[in-house]
Amino acid sequence: MKVDELGDWRRTHTSTDLGPKLDGKDVTVMGWISSIRKQGKIIFVLIHDIKGDIQVTAITGKTSEKMLTKLQSLSLHSVIAIKGKVKSISKAPQGAEIIPEEIKILNTSEIKPPFSIFGGELPGIDKRLDMRSLELRRPKPQAIFRIRHTTLVSVREFLSNNGYLEVQTPKIIASATEGGASLFPVLYYDKEAFLAQSPQLYKEQLTMCFEKVFEIGPIFRAEPSRTLRHLAEIVSIDLEEAYVSYEDVTKTLEKLVQHTMKTVADKCEEETKELGITITVPKLPFKRYTYTEIINVLQETGFKINWGADLSTSALKKIGEIYPDFYFINDWPTASKPFYIKPKSDKPEISESFDLMAGSLEISSGGTRVSSRRLLTNRLKDQGLKPKLFEKHLDLFDHGMPPHAGFGLGMDRLMMILTQEENIREVTLFPRDRLRLTP
Ligand code: ATP
Ligand code: MG
């Protein structure tokens, strides 16, 4: 079918602008066709645009033959522009429909999509991800990504209003920050470099000049296994602050989570309705347990785990059954945390660290950082890392590095909680994992 150029046509109204008070007005609307229905002499075409549907109503005898033929020849998903007159009618989406006078077919949809976005049986996530942007025309992912937008805006607003400076740090880096295993190497001119696993060292350094910083940006982890909560590229909300300890930053973190959930609950009523969920704004403070208490509770239920072990997926599942809400696990064994986490002065086998959990899902990790060069060098060695590789970072610690603390909060995991989705892929536009690098 011949398609038309956009030419000098411009949209005058979107679906949300329309309403009965525009009765009689000439408008130009554009969108993709979400439904075509013939009822006797009338053809109803729904076109979907940025935020809703517009009803275009053509009537045999009144609408030109040419227009009628064109409308009937179109398939779902075709993209059209209509010039016409608004007519107030209570049954139409915004209480108004358009009586078409001119049409441009901007693109056709000639191949039937591999799945229907209008209901009926939906294939598994892998098939849907293969045609992600088409899939994103569905109401459910539309709701999810509008909530994601609101979440981002709300996090930015909360942190900016509390005096944190938004920063951007490099994503191509020279050495590992969290240990080497999960790094993606990249060829950087003639050298080997890596994709950043976290902005850790940069955000720590920035506390010596800006004191309070945050970053919302991608981090990369070559996760060896495919799970419902791990991806190879995620968005991390990182915060770092001078002159505070881990206890202070847990307070900031819980307020941030509460604020964000409240904002989404207030602003995304339509979206949460679409998802069939209600957001319960959590009360503060969140419960705090120590790692040792959690191990004891697990052992009491008969779960086999020794002090010092990391919490496996099955351990997390068990804990999530006992504590389904938000809670902190504090004071982890020093050996299980990265080198930059500060051991307690009076009990160095335990660290000033925390994980924020939502049931069985870890959504954030943080702690007080080591701010002494000597201790940091020893910690690097303890973890089998070469201080030489971190020399430029360590040098700064000779020039007045303030005591500082911070956290990394997984944006995608936060989204899983906000939308009550079990698979992280549902809340990420174009997820990356061991088996997926496209689209
Ligand atoms: P996990 O134990 O769940 O693999 P982690 O402890 O290795 O996570 P951290 O290094 O503590 O992760 O990163 C801080 C936060 O970033 C995590 O709490 C989580 O929200 C998020 N995160 C880290 N790695 C991933 C990943 N591969 N996929 C999704 N989110 C992640
Ligand atoms: Mg962690």
pLDDT tens sequence across 158-206: 999 999 999 999 999 987 666 667 899 999 999 999 999 999 999 999 9
Nearest CA to ligand 1 atom 29: 230
Secondary structure (DSSP) of 266-292: HH-HHHHHHHT--PPPPPSSPEEEEHH
Same domain, 204 and 238: yes
Of 119-123, 248-252, 348-352, 430-434, the poorest mean pLDDT is in: 119-123
The pLDDT of residue 176? 67
Spatial contact of 332 and 355, defined as CB atoms under 8 Å apart:
yes
Tell me the C-alpha to C-alpha distance, in Å, between residue 262 and each of 200, 254, 265, 286. Answer: 28, 12, 5, 15
Given ligand 1 and candidates 291, 353, 365, 418, which is best to mutate, with the most ligand atoms within 8 Å of its CB?
Answer: 365
User: What tokens appear for 173 in the block?
Assistant: 């880096």
- Confidence band for 112, pLDDT divided at 50, 70 and 90: confident
234 Cβ closer than 6 Å to some ligand 1 atom: yes
Domain membership of residue 55 as a residue range: 15-107
Same domain, 249 and 345: yes
Same domain, 202 and 316: yes
Query: 58: which strand partners?
Result: 43
Q: Is the pLDDT of residue 352 over 70?
A: yes
Same domain, 271 and 355: yes
* Domain edge (last residue) among 107, 142, 171: 107
Nearest CA to ligand 1 atom 19: 410
What 3-state class would DSSP assign to 214? strand
Name the pairing type of β-strands 191-195 and 353-358.
unpaired
| Other CB atoms within 10 A of residue 402 CB | 12
Q: Is the pLDDT of residue 253 over 70?
A: yes
Ligand 1 atom showing the smallest separation from residue 364 Cα: 18
CA dihedral 323, 223, 145, 195 (to 10 degrees): 130
User: What tokens appear for 303 in the block?
Assistant: 């779960």
Amino acid at 180: G
Ligand 1 atom showing the smallest separation from residue 361 Cα: 3
Distance (Å, whole) CA 242 – CA 403: 6
Ligand 2 (single-atom ion) residues, CB below 5 Å: 365
Of 103-112, 140-149, 289-298, the poorest mean pLDDT is in: 103-112
> Greater confidence, 407 or 178?
407
> Greater confidence, 383 or 207?
207
Same domain, 279 and 377: yes
- C-alpha of residue 278 to centroid of ligand 2, in Å: 28
Beta-strand runs (E) in 343-428: 343-344, 347-351, 353-358, 361-368, 404-410
Distance (Å, whole) CA 119 – CA 139: 10
Whether 115 maps to a domain, the answer reads no
415 Cβ closer than 6 Å to some ligand 1 atom: no
The pLDDT of residue 369? 98
Nearest CA to ligand 1 atom 2: 362
- C-alpha of residue 396 to centroid of ligand 1, in Å: 27
Given ligand 1 and candidates 151, 195, 230, which is best to mutate, with the most ligand atoms within 8 Å of its CB?
Answer: 230
Nearest residue to 31 via CA among 79, 75, 100, 67: 79
Output the CA angle 274-276-278, nearest 5 degrees: 110
CB-based contacts of 133, cutoff 8 Å, min separation 6: 439
Nearest CA to ligand 1 atom 11: 365
48 Cβ closer than 6 Å to some ligand 1 atom: no
Given ligand 1 and candidates 182, 197, 201, 221, which is best to mutate, with the most ligand atoms within 8 Å of its CB?
Answer: 221
Secondary structure (DSSP) of 74-131: --TT-EEEEEEEEEE-TTSTTSEEEEEEEEEEEE---SPPSS-SSSS----HHHHHHT
Rounded to the nearest angstrom, the gap between the alpha carbon of residue 204 and the centroid of all alpha carbons in its chain is 24
Of 44-58, 170-184, 413-427, the poorest mean pLDDT is in: 170-184
230 Cβ closer than 6 Å to some ligand 1 atom: yes
Nearest CA to ligand 1 atom 21: 410
Ligand 1 atom showing the smallest separation from residue 424 Cα: 29
Spatial contact of 298 and 312, defined as CB atoms under 8 Å apart:
no
Ligand 1 atom showing the smallest separation from residue 408 Cα: 14
Give the whole-number percent of the chain exceeding pLDDT 90. Answer: 93
* Residue range 208-240, pLDDT digits in tens: 999 999 999 999 999 998 999 999 999 999 999
Q: Half-sphere exposure of 302 toward its Cβ, with a 13 Å CA cutoff?
A: 0
Whether 376 maps to a domain, the answer reads yes
CB-based contacts of 303, cutoff 8 Å, min separation 6: 314, 315, 318
Ligand 1 atom showing the smallest separation from residue 365 Cα: 11
> Greater confidence, 386 or 421?
421
Nearest CA to ligand 1 atom 18: 364
Same domain, 91 and 185: no
Q: Is the pLDDT of residue 6 over 80?
A: yes
User: What tokens appear for 296 in the block?
Assistant: 């004891």
Whether 3 maps to a domain, the answer reads no
Rounded to the nearest angstrom, the gap between the alpha carbon of residue 359 and the centroid of all alpha carbons in its chain is 19
Spatial contact of 260 and 154, defined as CB atoms under 8 Å apart:
yes
Whether 300 maps to a domain, the answer reads yes
What 3-state class would DSSP assign to 16? helix
- C-alpha of residue 328 to centroid of ligand 1, in Å: 15
The pLDDT of residue 364? 98
* Domain edge (last residue) among 58, 92, 107: 107
- C-alpha of residue 69 to centroid of ligand 1, in Å: 56
- C-alpha of residue 357 to centroid of ligand 1, in Å: 11
Output the CA angle 337-343-349, nearest 5 degrees: 80
Amino acid at 184: F
The pLDDT of residue 177? 65
Give the whole-number percent of the chain exceeding pLDDT 70. Answer: 99
Cβ burial 114-130 (10 Å sphere, 16+ → b, else e): ebebeeeeeeeeeebbe
Same domain, 191 and 321: yes
The pLDDT of residue 389? 87
Q: What is the pTM of this model?
A: 0.95
364 Cβ closer than 6 Å to some ligand 1 atom: yes
Closest ligand to C-alpha of residue 409 is: 1
- C-alpha of residue 366 to centroid of ligand 2, in Å: 8
- C-alpha of residue 309 to centroid of ligand 2, in Å: 14
Same domain, 35 and 151: no
Q: Is the pLDDT of residue 146 over 90?
A: yes
- Which DSSP helix (H) or strand (E) runs through 296? helix 291-300
Distance (Å, whole) CA 431 – CA 198: 18
- C-alpha of residue 410 to centroid of ligand 1, in Å: 7
337 Cβ closer than 6 Å to some ligand 1 atom: no
* Domain edge (last residue) among 55, 72, 107: 107
Task: Find the CATH number of the domain harbouring 41.
Answer: 2.40.50.140
Task: Find the CATH number of the domain harbouring 197.
Answer: 3.30.930.10
Distance (Å, whole) CA 317 – CA 321: 6
- How high is the mean pLDDT of the chain? 96
Same domain, 85 and 182: no
Same domain, 358 and 214: yes
Mean pLDDT calculated for residue range 334-339: 95
Structural domains in the chain (count)? 2
User: What tokens appear for 351 in the block?
Assistant: 């660290």
Same domain, 266 and 360: yes
> Greater confidence, 110 or 15?
15
Q: Half-sphere exposure of 242 toward its Cβ, with a 13 Å CA cutoff?
A: 16
Whether 9 maps to a domain, the answer reads no
